[in-house]
Homo-oligomer: A and B are copies of this chain.
Amino acid sequence: MAQNGLNNEETMLFDPEILLNIDYNAVNALMSSAGTDFKLRPLNRTDFSKGYLKLLQELTTVGEISQKQFEAQFDKMKLTSDGYFIIVIEHVPTQTIVGSSSLVIEHKFIRNCAKRARLEDVVVSSNQRGKQLGKILVETVKALSVYNGCYKISLDCKDTMVPYYESLGYKKEPGNANTLVIRHNL
């Protein structure tokens, strides 16, 4: 480890101990069945070199992000108190990130200064499908939202994904299930 304690290899977005403390039984069982080649952990500052951004390209446009830009964004998220909990699944033999999802926490005044959780940016590499890695990622984010004391967790999704998320416990609330958007021309 570097003398200043800022060993890049060890810099995780959040304390990995948290993943041992969440209500994790369902996730552990799934991880076991996925096999020993996979490791679930917080996003790491070195994951630029392990294909994290390449994985995100399977989700949507990523653009050309330099290592420096990646690290700056990582640092901004890490400095945000209780804001960003991005988890990844690393395929250990190839040192490649093959899955990721994000818990984003919004702090509010309502409901006794409550926290609201959002599930964002769930992606599994196309060559690792069928191993329930997506379910592991979604269930872990849910457990992390409970661990962090969030009063609810929500997501926006396409019509085609509704049955999948319903199977994992998410519900459309009657009369209260609309997402509306304005897209800006940047």
* Residues of chain B with a CB closer than 8 A to A76's CB: 81, 107
How many identical chains are in the complex? 2
A interface secondary structure, majority: mixed
* Residues of chain B with a CB closer than 8 A to A142's CB: 182
CA–CA, A186 and B116, complex, Å: 12
Interface string of A46-57 (1 = CB under 8 A from B): 000000110010
Q: Judge whether A121 and B107 touch: CB under 8 Å.
A: no
Q: Judge whether A180 and B162 touch: CB under 8 Å.
A: yes
User: In the complex, what's the smallest C-beta–C-beta distance from A176 to chain B, in angstroms?
Assistant: 5
- Can you name 21 A-B residue pairings with CB atoms under 8 Å? A52-B109, A61-B111, A62-B109, A62-B110, A65-B109, A70-B109, A70-B113, A72-B113, A73-B113, A76-B81, A104-B106, A106-B118, A149-B186, A151-B183, A155-B180, A156-B179, A166-B180, A171-B182, A172-B181, A173-B179, A177-B178
